[in-house]
Structure 1
Amino acid sequence: MHRHWRRQGEWVEFTPGRSVIESEQAMSAWLTDTLRMPQKMLRLMLHREEIRAAGDRLRLKILTPDTDSLEAADAPADVLYEDDACLVAFKPAGMPVHATTPEQDRQKNSLAHAVACHYAWTGQEVRVRHIHRLDVDTSGPVLYAKQAFTHAVLDEAMRRKEIQRHYAAIVQGQPNPKRGVIDAPIGKDRHHPSRRRVSPSGDHAITHYEVVESGPQLSLVRLSLETGRTHQIRVHMSYKGHPLLGDTLYGGDDSGFPRQALHGESLRFLHPLSGEWVQVDAPWPEDMSRLRQKI
Structure 2
Amino acid sequence: MEVKKLDSWFQVKVSDAQKNQTIESYLKNEWQFPKKLLHELRMAKGCKVNGEIKPWNMILLPDDQVEILLFNEEDYGVTPQNQSIEICYEDDHLLIVNKPFGVDTHPNEKGQLNTLANGVAYHFQENGLKIKVRHIHRLDKDTTGGVVFAKHALSSSILDSMLSQRKIKRTYTAIVEGNVKSLKGTINEPIGRDRHHPTRRRVSPKGDKAITHYTKKKYISKSNITILECQLDTGRTHQIRVHLSFLGHPLIGDVLYGGKRKLLNRQGLHASNVQLIHPFTKEELSINIPFPTDIQQILNEKR
Q: Scaled by the length of structure 1, what TM-score is found?
A: 0.91
Q: Name which structure has the greater RCO, CA cutoff 8 Å, separation 6+.
A: 1
CA distance in 1, matches of 2:256, 2:14: 51
Partner of 1:75 in structure 2? 83
Q: Is the 8 A contact 1:13 1:57 kept in 2?
A: yes
Aligned pairs (5 A) from 1:43-192: 43-54=39-50, 56-102=64-110, 105-106=111-112, 108-192=113-197
Partner of 2:11 in structure 1? 13
Q: Which amino acid aligns with 1:12?
A: F
Residues 211-233 of structure 1 deviation map (CA, whole Å, 9 limit, x = unaligned): 11113310111111121111111
Identify the match of residue 243 of structure 1 among 239, 247, 250: 250
CA distance in 2, matches of 1:20, 1:169: 44
Offset, 1:132: 0.5
Partner of 1:201 in structure 2? 206
CA distance in 2, matches of 1:225, 1:134: 13
CA distance in 1, matches of 2:298, 2:249: 16
Q: Is the 8 A contact 1:179 1:210 kept in 2?
A: yes
Paired residue secondary structure (1:119): helix
Q: Is the 8 A contact 2:71 2:131 kept in 1?
A: no
Identify the match of residue 30 of structure 2 among 27, 34, 37: 34
Paired residue secondary structure (1:150): helix
Q: Is the 8 A contact 1:76 1:117 kept in 2?
A: no
Offset, 1:291: 2.4
Offset, 1:194: 0.6
Q: Is the 8 A contact 1:131 1:154 kept in 2?
A: yes
Residues 222-264 of structure 1 deviation map (CA, whole Å, 9 limit, x = unaligned): 1111211111111111111100000111111113321000011
User: How many pairs does the alignment contain?
Assistant: 288
Offset, 1:21: 5.5
Q: Does the alignment pair 1:279 with 2:275?
A: no
Q: Which amino acid aligns with 1:9?
A: D
CA distance in 2, matches of 1:44, 1:169: 43
CA distance in 2, matches of 1:69, 1:165: 26
Q: Which amino acid aligns with 1:73?
A: Q
Offset, 1:19: 7.0
CA distance in 2, matches of 1:44, 1:6: 22
Partner of 1:4 in structure 2? 2
Identify the match of residue 220 of structure 1 among 227, 230, 234: 227
* Distance change >3 Å, CA 93–CA 56, structure 1 → 2: same
Q: Which amino acid aligns with 2:148?
A: L
Q: Which amino acid aligns with 1:75?
A: Q
Q: Scaled by the length of structure 2, what TM-score is found?
A: 0.89
Percent identity over the alignment?
35
Gaps in structure 2 of 5+ consecutive residues: 51-62
Higher deviation after alignment, 135-144 or 272-281: 272-281
